[in-house]
Amino acid sequence: MTDAANPLLKDWDTPFGLPPFAEIDDAQFAPALDAALDEGRANIAAIADNPAPPSFANTIEALELADATLDRVAGVFFNLAGSDSNPAREALQRDFAPKFSAYSSEITNNARLFARIADLWERREDLGLSDEQMRVLYLTHRSFVRSGAALDGAARDRLTEVKGRLAVLGTQFAQNLLADERDWFMELAETDLEGLPDFVVAAARAAGEDKGTGGPVVTLSRSLIVPFLQFSPRRDLREAALKAWAARGANGGETDNREIAAEILALRAERATLLGYADFASYKLETEMAGSAARVRELLMAVWEPAKRAADADAAVLEEMMRADGVNGPLEPWDWRYYAEKRRRAEHDLDETELKPFFQLDAMIGAAFDCANRLFGLEFAPLDVDLYHPDARAWEVTRDGNHVAVFVGDYFARGSKRSGAWCSAMRSQKKLGGDVRPIVVNVCNFAKGDPALLSYDDARTLFHEFGHALHQMLSDVTHGSISGTSVARDFVELPSQLYEHWLEVPEVLQKHARHAQTGAPIPQDMLDRLLAAQTYDMGFQTVEYVASALVDLDFHEGAAPEDPMAAQAGTLARIGMPRAIGMRHATPHFAHVFAGDGYSSGYYSYMWSEVMDADAFAAFEEAGDAFDKGLADKLERHILSAGGSRDAAELYTAFRGRMPGVEALLKGRGLDRVA
């Protein structure tokens, strides 16, 4: 196929410039990406070899536009690779990883290009740049230096090798994890369904249909395995399911991730040393709000101690409940959720089987849209367009009749989709080179049903990812490199975690939490009990998260461990990890940290952002109105629309007037009352 015939390389005459999914075949990706890489190389060479003196326009702006075709093609491919993978796409990912790494290194190793950037940086005060232009110049120069542009000779060549190998290993780690999650399932006999709520039974049957077993199954999808662990009275089945979930990436054979993790950690440490840093944590945290491993550890330990005390107290109660059931021996990880759910029903009179019908997927999507309308004036209209999978659906987002974005929601679990939930952009907002409006995607892994019912935690996940989507959709910057979520890692979770708070607003639940069959609103007493129980089991939730964050930090501070599993065990022993609670993400399936380096030394960032989100929502509480227009306008102006145009601390301070302390977080988690 010629480039001219490849739909990935043609102008897309489609509604809103959406990718022409119906015309795209997997065989077209490799030639399209190769062509896009060649075009990018030619554009970079033209910038580097430009005989005119360096200017912001002919160097920085030209660099911003150099990869337009590559960004477009890669935006389609990597969204598909994560949400609807297949063997062909997995093979393409393995092939592309070293190519992308080599291309990136070619750019940062281009001495003539870096000389132009360095010249502009030296003369920055004389260039008459706007604040945004100055920020983009600063970030571009910093990125090149941190990528090794100032190195030469053997050090530069070795860094290129290291980055290339890391790209290959990250892809392999992610694909191994997907294979383990896709391949394992546990068939259930009809008698094994006894005691399970109808929604779990329905999800198990739907999963069985997906696996072609002809009967119900438990898979490693979080939206199925967690409720199974909560409700199944069969301790043996809970144990088997929990052990399979915990063993992802550590089952031996070709999909085992333990040696891959060790090599990744060693290469990251070498990368940091080549760039002149003491360790990888020092390198990585230099650009984050936290700034240092010491500040991260201070935050995590300030939360760990009260969380562990709460978890230990809860464990004693759950163990007594287990004894009352005639079960001897210690409380185990496969027991916690089951007895915690029984205790929640007893103490808060909350039964997940009674709650779930009030959290229908479509109603929660409507709630997220309604809040965005009341806060920011956004409106959402369904689109009848071709997408990449029948489960995906799209909406046009407008404000005052003007097009803002296209939003795509892909909500159901399937074997071709990696686990978890995320937000991505097939196209990001920018004004340089034309007014480009974003195409934003939310991907979740909810269990299918008719209708699809969510747990309250699922609904929070939906709001969380939609908060990221708002950060992308409301972006209003000129340069694509600082658009939307292109901010410090420990700031990027602020909009998403902040948006979760609107799900807790009583009037939102009264309006949208309606029974799937009867349409009746959630009863007031049930709503009161639900909101009163928001900090229930918070010791468990906080311990499993903070333990993972501390292991991540320990991996990257100081010398890289030769045996990551032994290092993980050492960290957990040092902090006194409760035996009945597992890490939220153990090393062999810690995709945040090992499937790429986005959250490496940075898994703490959810909690760093939570310090801010608790304080930010308190501003609305202090105003006495969760939909206060003045505050919503400030939130959009200083955070959601600003992207990375200013330092994260400046942006937050502009919104709130000051930086917060950890007190709001502890209060929000109910840990301020732990003795």
- Going by C-alpha positions, the residue among 198, 179, 181 that lies closest to residue 241 is 181
- Going by C-alpha positions, the residue among 205, 201, 195 that lies closest to residue 231 is 195
Measured CA angle at 517 (ends 514, 520), to 5 deg: 35
- Going by C-alpha positions, the residue among 466, 400, 404, 465 that lies closest to residue 429 is 404
The CA distance from 27 to 38, in Å, is 18
Amino acid identity of 449?
Answer: G
DSSP bridge pairs for 217: 187
Query: Which residue in the list 352, 465, 500, 610 is annotated as catalytic?
Result: 465
Establish whether 504 is a catalytic residue: no
Peptide linkage before 451 cis (omega within 30 of 0): yes
DSSP bridge pairs for 398: 379, 403
**Buried (b) or exposed (e) across 465-494, using 16+ Cβ within 10 A?**
bbbbbbbbbbbbbbbbbbbbbbbbbbbbbb
Query: Residue 69 in contact with residue 12, Cβ under 8 Å?
Result: no
Q: CB under 8 Å to 327, separation ≥6 — which residues? A: 235, 335
- The structure tokens listed for 397 are 């987002």
DSSP bridge pairs for 402: 399
> Is 566 exposed, middle or buried (CB count within 10 Å of its CB: 0-12, 13-18, 19+)?
exposed
Amino acid identity of 533?
Answer: A
Q: CB under 8 Å to 263, separation ≥6 — which residues? A: 165, 169
Tokens 């309250």 belong to residue? 456
Query: Residue 468 in contact with residue 431, Cβ under 8 Å?
Result: no
Distance from the first to the final alpha carbon of the chain: 69
- Going by C-alpha positions, the residue among 498, 471, 497 that lies closest to residue 645 is 471
**Sheet with strand 439-446: strands edge to edge:** 379-383, 393-399, 402-412, 439-446, 422-427
Query: Residue 272 in contact with residue 279, Cβ under 8 Å?
Result: yes
The CA distance from 485 to 381, in Å, is 24
The CA distance from 657 to 651, in Å, is 10
Instruction: State the catalytic residues.
Output: 465
